[in-house]
């Protein structure tokens, strides 16, 4: 009986790590490092699948587990740290004090309604499912140092930089690379938040100004970065000989944080075609963040995901190409990019949660083709269509490619008319996602 290999969502796909671990072209040290990263992913076997399954269970279904949610309440310790920091400007301190007081007030009301005696100065955060969750007016960022521990119970680690603080100095971290990781994680999380707010008026990743917590220096030579849905934070490894530089890749950070956005818009089951669409949505918004930071119109962009993540000497240009899936890399040490670019090559598989990373290239190319046909910046028309589709309530949890395609075509017509709908339909047809007709 075939077994399923489930993985927490991470920027480096499991098939690439497997290739690194199995290739005889690599030294045993490299293969062991890849196996280490791959085994860690396996230890997180069902996290993302479980979270999205919980999110998509219809309300009121008997026996359904309550969703495991950590979002919605800014950690009080983080707010207290910001409110008392001399390194933060006065406006940021005042905002943090205001939101901290709000949390305390809401908690007091909640405790009163539950008949719980409130102790003085108690600041313990409670579930976001409480009757009156706090709604801060500011999205807070904080970056922590995991000190190369791979023990999740120790996350997030030691706080190094919080919202409003200037870039960390040598007094905090002595190594140039460490400084870069910490500040890049902070700055690029800000770029992602700015994109969602400025382009789609979406506040942070839950539309309620949820804090964005990041931990860098996770594990020893850990060759990946991921959004952990259960502890609601970003986690970055330092990488090794072939893969790394994750904090400097704004598209990678955009990709991972978009998984959290998807939780709050159209949760897609993380398996099979719906799982590939889940990955596709993250690539789509990750690439738009990158293009905005670089001020690139669709026809001038490279459409590469994670180009900073391949270390010097690797025969390749990125982790994935949305313009030409299957061409991102070809190196004997970890093989050739296996992504197909057309639905005719889709095959049911038990690997990688049903090929969620493998087959995301098909809808990725459809978005690329749509953006090029529309012209201008990718987020002006194609991006708006995809975003409004996610907001429409028309995407089922187990959406197929054709269902998602139909929804984007309908939204294109609604927003921009028949010609736009024809552009989007042609893009999907060109990648083999074609609506069947019956004579």
Q: Indicate whether 167 belongs to any domain.
A: no
The residue-averaged pLDDT of 238-253 equals: 84
Q: Is the domain of 275 the same as that of 126?
A: no
Q: Is the domain of 129 the same as that of 274?
A: no
Q: Indicate whether 289 belongs to any domain.
A: yes
Compute how many other C-beta atoms are within 10 angstroms of the C-beta atom of residue 105. 12
Record the tokens describing residue 160, joined without a space: 């190094």
Q: Indicate whether 225 belongs to any domain.
A: no
Residues contacting 350, CB < 8 A, separation 6+: 2, 3, 4, 5
The better pLDDT of the pair 260, 99 is held by 260
The residue-averaged pLDDT of 252-273 equals: 93
Question: What are the pLDDT digits (tens) for 132-143?
Answer: 445 677 888 999
State the pLDDT at residue 130: 38
State the pLDDT at residue 309: 82
State the pLDDT at residue 132: 43
The better pLDDT of the pair 277, 178 is held by 277
From 21, 26, 36, select the one nearest 332 (Cα to Cα): 26
Integer-rounded Cα Rg, in Å, for the chain is 22
Mark which of 133, 150, 169 sits at the end of a domain: 133
User: How far, in Å, CA of 48 to CA of 50, rounded?
Assistant: 5
Number of domain units in the chain: 2
Question: What are the pLDDT digits (tens) for 356-402?
Answer: 999 999 999 999 999 999 999 999 999 999 999 999 999 999 999 99
For the cut 90, the answer to whether the pLDDT of residue 14 exceeds it is: no
Mark which of 133, 161, 183 sits at the end of a domain: 133
State the pLDDT at residue 37: 65
Q: By the 8 A CB rule, do 311 and 276 touch?
A: no
State the pLDDT at residue 92: 73
For the cut 50, the answer to whether the pLDDT of residue 70 exceeds it is: no
Q: Indicate whether 257 belongs to any domain.
A: no
User: Which of 25-39, 66-80, 166-180, 243-257 has the highest mean predicted lDDT (pLDDT)?
Assistant: 243-257
User: How far, in Å, CA of 16 to CA of 26, rounded?
Assistant: 13
For the cut 70, the answer to whether the pLDDT of residue 274 exceeds it is: yes
Q: Indicate whether 117 belongs to any domain.
A: yes
Question: What are the pLDDT digits (tens) for 410-431?
Answer: 999 999 999 999 999 999 999 9
What percent of the chain has a predicted confidence (pLDDT) above 90?
47
Q: Is 357 part of the annotated catalytic residue set?
A: yes
The catalytic position among 256, 263, 307, 308 is 256
State the pLDDT at residue 118: 42
State the pLDDT at residue 123: 38
Q: Indicate whether 211 belongs to any domain.
A: no
Contacts of 267-271 with CB under 8 Å at 24 or more apart are: 267/52, 267/55, 267/56, 267/397, 268/52, 268/395, 268/397, 268/399, 269/49, 269/52, 269/53, 269/56, 269/397, 269/398, 270/9, 270/48, 270/49, 270/52, 270/353, 270/356, 271/49, 271/353, 271/354, 271/356
Mark which of 101, 133, 165 sits at the end of a domain: 133
Range with lowest mean pLDDT among 5-9, 226-230, 291-295 = 5-9
The better pLDDT of the pair 269, 173 is held by 269
For the cut 90, the answer to whether the pLDDT of residue 152 exceeds it is: no
CATH number of residue 374's parent domain: 1.10.390.10
Binned at pLDDT 50, 70 and 90, residue 47 comes out as low
State the pLDDT at residue 151: 85
Q: Is 256 part of the annotated catalytic residue set?
A: yes
User: How far, in Å, CA of 225 to CA of 237, rounded?
Assistant: 6
Q: By the 8 A CB rule, do 92 and 99 touch?
A: no
For the cut 90, the answer to whether the pLDDT of residue 173 exceeds it is: no
State the pLDDT at residue 45: 36
Q: Indicate whether 192 belongs to any domain.
A: no
pLDDT mean across residues, the chain: 80
Binned at pLDDT 50, 70 and 90, residue 6 comes out as very low
Which residues form the domain of 287?
266-430
The residue-averaged pLDDT of 5-22 equals: 61
Q: Indicate whether 214 belongs to any domain.
A: no
């Amino acid at each position: 009986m075939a077994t399923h290999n489930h993985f927490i969502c991470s920027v480096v796909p499991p098939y690439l790590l497997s290739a690194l671990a199995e290739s005889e072209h690599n030294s045993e040290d490299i293969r062991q490092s890849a196996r280490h990263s791959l085994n860690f992913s396996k230890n997180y076997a069902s996290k993302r699948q479980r979270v999205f399954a919980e999110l998509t269970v219809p309300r009121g279904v008997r026996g359904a587990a309550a969703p495991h949610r950590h979002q919605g309440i800014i950690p009080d310790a983080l707010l207290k740290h910001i409110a008392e920091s001399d390194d933060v400007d006065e406006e940021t301190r005042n905002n943090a004090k205001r939101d901290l007081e709000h949390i305390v007030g809401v908690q007091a009301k909640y405790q009163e309604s539950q008949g719980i005696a409130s102790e003085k100065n108690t600041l313990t955060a409670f579930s976001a499912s409480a009757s009156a969750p706090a709604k801060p007016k500011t999205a807070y960022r904080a970056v922590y140092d995991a000190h190369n521990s791979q023990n999740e119970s120790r996350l997030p680690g030691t706080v190094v930089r919080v919202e409003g603080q200037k870039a960390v100095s040598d007094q905090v971290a002595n190594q140039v690379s460490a400084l870069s990781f910490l500040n890049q994680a902070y700055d690029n999380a800000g770029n992602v938040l700015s994109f969602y707010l400025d382009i789609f008026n979406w506040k942070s990743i839950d539309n309620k100004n949820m804090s964005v917590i990041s931990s860098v220096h996770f594990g020893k030579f850990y060759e990946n970065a991921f959004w952990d849905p259960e502890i609601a934070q970003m986690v970055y490894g330092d990488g090794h000989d072939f893969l790394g530089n994750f904090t400097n890749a704004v598209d990678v950070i955009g990709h991972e944080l978009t998984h959290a956005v998807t939780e709050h818009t159209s949760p897609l089951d993380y398996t099979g075609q719906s799982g590939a669409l889940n990955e596709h949505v993250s690539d789509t918004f990750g690439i738009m963040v990158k293009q905005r930071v670089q001020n690139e119109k669709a026809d001038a962009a490279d459409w590469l995901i994670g180009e900073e993540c391949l270390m010097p000497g690797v025969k390749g240009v990125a982790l994935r190409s949305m313009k030409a899936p299957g061409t991102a890399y070809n190196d004997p040490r970890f093989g050739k990019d296996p992504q197909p670019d057309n639905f005719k090559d889709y095959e049911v598989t038990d690997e990688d949660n049903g090929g969620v990373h493998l087959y995301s290239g098909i809808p990725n190319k459809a978005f690329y083709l749509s953006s090029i046909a529309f012209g201008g910046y990718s987020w002006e028309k194609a991006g708006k269509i995809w975003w409004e589709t996610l907001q429409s309530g028309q995407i089922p949890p187990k959406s197929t490619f054709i269902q998602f395609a139909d929804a984007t075509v309908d939204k294109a017509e609604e927003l921009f008319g028949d010609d736009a709908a024809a552009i989007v339909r042609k893009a999907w047809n060109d990648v083999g996602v074609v609506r069947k007709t019956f004579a």
